Structure formats: structure tokens, C-alpha cells
Chain A
């Protein structure tokens, strides 16, 4: 079995990369990494480009180690990881679109984020203007008797984000789902380049609106890692508090929305009220309902007053009581369970292969949680309790979220009870460096990698949403289910479009 430390032992580490090592490798080591991924010894954490190189972030779960492998591509090519390890395919298609580097041997070479409408090719690489009409997108061929196709999107019936779903069905049963994403691509990584830390942090916080705290948190940690500094203790705790409040609000809202997609609107109405109560409490503490721009590199932008802290503690007790009644209702409503149990099953082997994070992974036997696997403050002091299930159906994903909501409420109480005093922010030096952060958002682990130039501006920043490894699994989980259950399955995964499309 190949371990990560064996793999990188012979390669040269790059200096000034924190907290995990980054090494420059040759094609041979790159190939070994690819084989180790395919064998299931390592997990893919991320794969991203620069104009003349590619970076591969790897996780060794058994050894609890992370490393980044960098391969320089002088002739604008690199051996495809996706050829052996399918989770890398979409990431490589995105690299081809954005940087113009070619992944040789990539099984699926269709563009992914580039829909042929940007008027420019390889915008982050050696960009070249293009006025060419894009070739129409070709979906994968499906053959067989009595099959029909249903195209859905990019504009959907509900108030949700845009994306296209192509269903092939036999009667009611879905034979294949193919996703087409990229509609919300805003070019965030190109806007990052040259931005100062303040602007870059704002951009990071607008990558995925429901995870604005988690993204700002990850960006701040990556920046602090690059600069080799740590924020003050009180800031750590406040960040943790914000992150848990965000998780709680999302879990409350989504649990209701999932039940609504199973036509049980009573749960939805009550969960929406709970979510609103959380947002109002957050608003009175931090001045913004979603806590936008509250976390900044170097600390946090807003403090928590003693009165607000007491208020939150009081409210948590109230939320817990109300939520208990709702979970009891979920448990006792057989008509609802009839829809959620055994629907949209994600097999544990797929969750492991794709390194699925968050509740999607934890409902299918993958226990990984960035807060406990690589504890960052405040979770090194206050560890969350986590649960893992094996069933992998809609019901399991709901139950994991119920547990997580309860655990978040406990964390909120503990963080407030032990909140350190002192400064909430610190001045940052203007210098260069490279840093990476892995932060657990409500949806799973968010990876941010950052290189600062000597004036402390962003030279390159990559943001990897957990959805990259969850979207493909939705395609697998939906197979054999009926078309009518798609909204339910989709909501139970709740992948981000904007976070994925960037």
C-alpha cells in the first residue's frame, strides 16, 4: 500500500508552503499518485492549474496526512489523473477550459465550465480571444429500447440555482442522469488575481452564499497560513461560533425543504420558522443575517457583546426544544419515511472513492470531518461530536443533519461558555507566501489554496467546493429511482452550483 510519505519522500519540497508540504514531482511520481488514488490508498482533495503547472492535493486518511504534488508542464500537457481515477475528470475538464493545459488520456474531453460564450479561450492561462461560435454541447449517447429523455434547466421551476439535468428514463424509472453545470461561472479565480487581501476575502465570501462564513473562514486561514501568523484566540472562537450558527441555519432550513419535496409541508413551515429565528439572532449579534464579511484575514470584523452572548444562549435552549418536537414528528410520520427510506441510495464504496465530504459522505459510511481530522482552532479545544451511518439514502442524510444540528447547538453553548477575552483582530504583515486551508462548511470540506506575492496581494487562489465530489455521486444515486423522486434526492444532496461553477 502506497502511503503519502513514501510518495513524496524523494521529491523536493517547496519552501514557504504552510501548513502542509508542497513538493515538485516528476511524471513518474505523478503516475504513482494516480495509481494510489485508483487503488483507494489515497483520496483526491483537489486538482487545479496555473498557466504552466498543475497541483494535486492528496489526503492519506489512515496517516492523517495531506500533501500537494506539483507537476510542471513545459509543453502545456500533463498525464490525466482522471484516466485512472474518475473523481478527477471534471476537475481536469475545468483545468483544460480555464488554463488551456491538456490532460492527456482524459476519457471525457468535452468542455465543462466553458460554454463557448466568454469570447476568450483559456482565460487564466495564455488567454486568446475567440469569436468562434461554440459547438453545441453533446450529451452522452444512450441506447436501448423504450427510452425517452427529459431535459430540465438551466432555469428551474423553483427558486433555485441554474444548472441543466438530462434524464434518460424508461417509463418512470431513471436510467441515466447527466448533469451539465457551469451556468453560474463568474470567473472568481481570475478576479482574485492581483486583489488585495480585503477584496479577495470578500470575493471568497461570495463564492457560495449559503456558506459565506465557511468560505471566509477558509480564506482567512489560508491567508494566515501563507503569512505564518495566527489570529487572536477570541477571534478563533468567534469564527467557530459563526461557522456553527451558519451550519445550524442551513440544516434547519434544508431539513424542512427536504420534507417539503416529499410533500410534507408542515415540517417545512416549522423548520423555516426555526431558520428565521437563527438568522434574526445572528443579525442582532453581528449585524448581518448571513454574517457576510464578518470573518476577515487576521481575525473577525465584529465582536460579540456579553448581552448578545446571553441572548444566544437563551435562544439555543428554545431552538433545541422546538427542534426536538420536529425530529419527533419526522420519526413518527410513516408516510414521510416511506418517501425517504431506501430512496436515492449512495453506496459507501462510491462515497469513499470520491472522497465525499459532509453529510453526503457521513450518511454513506465516510466519517471524514475536517474539524476532527485536521483540527483547526477553535475545534482543537472544542471538538464536535459526529455520527456516521451506512445506509446512504435520503433518510440517512436527513438523520445525519439532525445530529449535526444538535451537535452545533452544543458547540455554540460550549464556545460561548469558554469564549476568551482579548483582541479580535491583528495587523497583517505585507509579504509573500503560500498557504492552504481545509475548513468544514455545512456541506463538507472547503479547500482554499493561496499564493501571495511580496506585497501581500493574491498571485493565485484556488477555491474547491465540496460539491465537486458530490455532484457526480448524485448521478449515481439517482439511477433506478423514479423521475418524481429527483427533487427529493437532489435536495437531500443539496450541492452548490455557484460554489462549483466559481
Chain B
């Protein structure tokens, strides 16, 4: 164990700098978020995740947010185990009919104010699964969605940018 712990005392951290805000569309969306509510919650948000029928690709990248490179928690963002503790609900997948009720109930038990972030193309429009007898389609057909993060799956930096937008909706977009 020493072999692993000692070097970490001397080597620089792997954690990378905060990503620049590059997505204009995201910025527009974030501006509309309720400022008063946000002020109350300050710089810390608890996130609850629901997989509403994803292929699991989106989850893999959400997991990656916790590794040493992205280290989500340093920003005050934290995944929690119960929707009753959560301010933000992230949802992936084309909302299968078999998951609709579970998603709805998860949303219902979250205390207000609350936001919903639809993660991945499936959650935004149903993706390739849109016409199936087994899916409802976009998350917004079941619960109100405040923010979309595109991609199949979105990269961790895109996820990070999206979630940080909730904390800093007014931050300037860097022009490329």
C-alpha cells in the first residue's frame, strides 16, 4: 500500500482545471433557471440519478465524473442515494414505459425547489428508440426538464459544464 500512497504525496494531483463554458445553448437554458431558488441553495447541490431505460453508456460517463481527473465533489456537487435529499434529478434513457412510474415517483418525492437535467440524446428526444412501442420518449414528456446535455453519451467535460451551469448560470461563454 505504501507503494501507492507515498508517490501520491509528492506527485501533482491528476485533477484537471474547471472546464471553460463553451456551450451557448446551455447558457441560454441556464439563464432561465429560478435565481431566487438557487440563491437559497448556495454553491452546493445534491444530485439524484435515475436511469429510465438507458443503454448504460450515459451512466458510465456519469461515473467518470467521480474519478480523480474530474472530481465532481470539489465543486460542491454530490450524488446522493435518496431523491428526498436531492435538489437535482439527472435522468438518462428514452423513458421506457416500464420505468415511467418509477421516474415520476422519484421526481414527486424530491423537495422543492428542484431541477431536472436530461442527460444524453435518448433522454432529450428518445434517441434511436423513439418510435418503439415500449418507450415514452423524451424525459420532458414525464417530468419538467430544465436543462439538456447532449451526446451519446455526453463526454464527462460536457456533463461537468452542464452541471456547473446550475451553479453559475451567468458565467460567460468562451468563444472558440
Contact = CB atoms under 8 A, between A and B. Distances in A.
Interface of A: 115, 117-120, 123, 154-155, 157-162, 182-188, 190-191, 199, 202-203, 206-210, 212, 253, 266, 269-270, 272-273, 275-276, 279, 289-290, 292, 325-326, 328-329, 332-333, 496-498
B51 to A, nearest CB: 5
A119 B98 CA distance: 11
B132 to A, nearest CB: 4
B132 A209 contact: no
6 closest Cβ contacts across the A-B interface? A209-B57, A187-B132, A187-B134, A157-B81, A209-B56, A272-B67
A497 B100 CA distance: 16
Nearest to B62: A159
A126 to B, nearest CB: 14
A209 B134 contact: no
Given A161-B51, A184-B98, A186-B94, A206 B128 contact: yes
Contact of B128 (A158, A203, A497): A203
Interface string B74-89: 0000010111000000
A333 B1 contact: yes
Contacts, number: 150
A199 B128 contact: yes
Contacts of A154: 99, 102
Contacts of A496: 56
Interface string B39-62: 000000000011111111111111
B129 A209 contact: no
A191 B135 CA distance: 11
B56 A498 contact: yes
B129 A266 contact: no
Contacts of B99: 154, 162, 183-184
A216 to B, nearest CB: 12
A162 B60 contact: no
B82 A157 contact: yes
Interface residues of B, number: 50
Given A120-B133, A186-B132, A498-B55, 8 more contacts: A117-B97, A182-B98, A206-B128, A209-B55, A210-B57, A272-B68, A290-B153, A326-B4
Contacts of B129: 186-188, 191, 206
A276 B69 contact: yes
Nearest to A270: B4
A162 B3 contact: no
Nearest to A191: B132
A159 B79 contact: yes
B63 A266 contact: no
Nearest to A124: B133
A290 B1 contact: no
Contacts of A212: 55, 57
Contacts of B97: 115, 117-119
A183 B152 contact: no
B155 interface: yes
B4 A325 contact: yes
10 contacts: A119-B133, A155-B102, A159-B49, A190-B133, A202-B128, A206-B128, A209-B58, A273-B14, A279-B64, A326-B4
